[in-house]
């Protein structure tokens, strides 16, 4: 095993015989959409393995969780200037935005608007790594979905899936960053289970996965280059 220096991230990384790179030190992670749902689980998962977390949300809800390695920031995920400030001295970004149906009606382009602001802020701060929460059934993963999911995407979930597709495309088209897109097959509450399945392209995955398990994978995806510039589907725990 050898140690290499990544020019964009001030941390040593180990490269094993497989060629996969894993960070050996604590990382500084910015979590966008941190106050609820999967984003809140990401914050907890990152802290649990020793990372230093900046948790960004509109509410800046520091009352939700306190930790010496956690800083809450109140900011708008679509505001480039606020994101630039939050990205200062970070190693990677995790975008874990989620919305209720009522919020989707109020802000139907949140995912894509945040993507453009995040990409521009990453350019300005020369930050390279981003892991993005999307949804199973978006873009080419649609081919692996069942009839029920397709019916939902064509009806009640049409607006958010259309915006998730734009969100994904913006990150995938940006050459200055290393992106990982994570598509959970169906989110539910529950404990972490590392029996989940991770698949690339349009391969089927088991339906349903706990938010804690998705968060675990998203943090892991920050720590390694194994999934860089890939969209993965995840499910089954």
List, in order of start, the domains of the chain with CATH numbers: 2-235 (3.40.50.720)
Rounded mean pLDDT, 166-171? 99
Q: Please check the confidence at residue 2 and state whether its pLDDT lies above 50.
A: no
Residue 116 DSSP symbol: H
Output the pTM of the full model.
Answer: 0.89
Beta bridge partners of 156: none
3-state SS class at 13: strand
Rounded mean pLDDT, 137-154? 94
Distance CA(80)–CA(124), nearest Å, equals: 10
Beta bridge partners of 31: 55, 94
Structure tokens at 81: 């200037």
Exposed / middle / buried, residue 178 (Cβ in 10 Å: 0-12, 13-18, 19+): middle
Q: What is the pLDDT of residue 231?
A: 97
Q: What is the pLDDT of residue 10?
A: 38
Q: What is the pLDDT of residues 188-219, one digit of tens each?
A: 999 999 899 999 877 899 999 999 999 999 99
* Percent of the chain clearing pLDDT 90 (strictly above): 80
Q: What is the pLDDT of residue 41?
A: 98
């Amino acid at each position: 095993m050898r140690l290499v220096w990544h020019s964009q991230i001030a941390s040593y990384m180990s490269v094993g015989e497989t060629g996969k790179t894993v960070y050996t030190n604590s990382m500084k992670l910015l979590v966008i959409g941190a106050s609820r749902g999967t984003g809140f689980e990401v914050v907890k998962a990152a802290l649990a393995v020793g990372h230093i977390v900046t948790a960004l949300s509109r509410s800046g809800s520091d009352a939700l969780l306190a930790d010496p390695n956690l800083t809450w920031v109140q900011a708008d995920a679509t505001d480039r200037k606020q994101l630039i400030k939050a990205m200062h001295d970070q190693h990677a970004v995790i975008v874990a935005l989620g919305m209720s149906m009522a919020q989707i009606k109020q802000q139907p382009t949140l995912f894509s608007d945040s993507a453009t602001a995040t990409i521009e802020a990453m350019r300005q701060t020369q930050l390279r790594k981003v892991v993005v929460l999307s949804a199973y059934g978006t873009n080419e993963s649609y081919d692996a979905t069942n009839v029920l999911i397709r019916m939902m995407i064509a009806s009640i979930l049409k607006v958010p899936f259309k915006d998730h597709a734009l969100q994904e495309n913006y990150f995938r088209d940006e050459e200055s960053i290393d992106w990982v897109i994570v598509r959970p097959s169906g989110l539910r509450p529950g404990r972490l289970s590392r029996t989940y399945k991770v698949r690339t392209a349009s391969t089927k995955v088991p339906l349903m996965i706990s938010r804690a398990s998705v968060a675990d994978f998203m943090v892991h995806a920050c720590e390694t280059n194994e999934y860089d510039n890939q969209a993965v589907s995840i499910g089954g725990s």
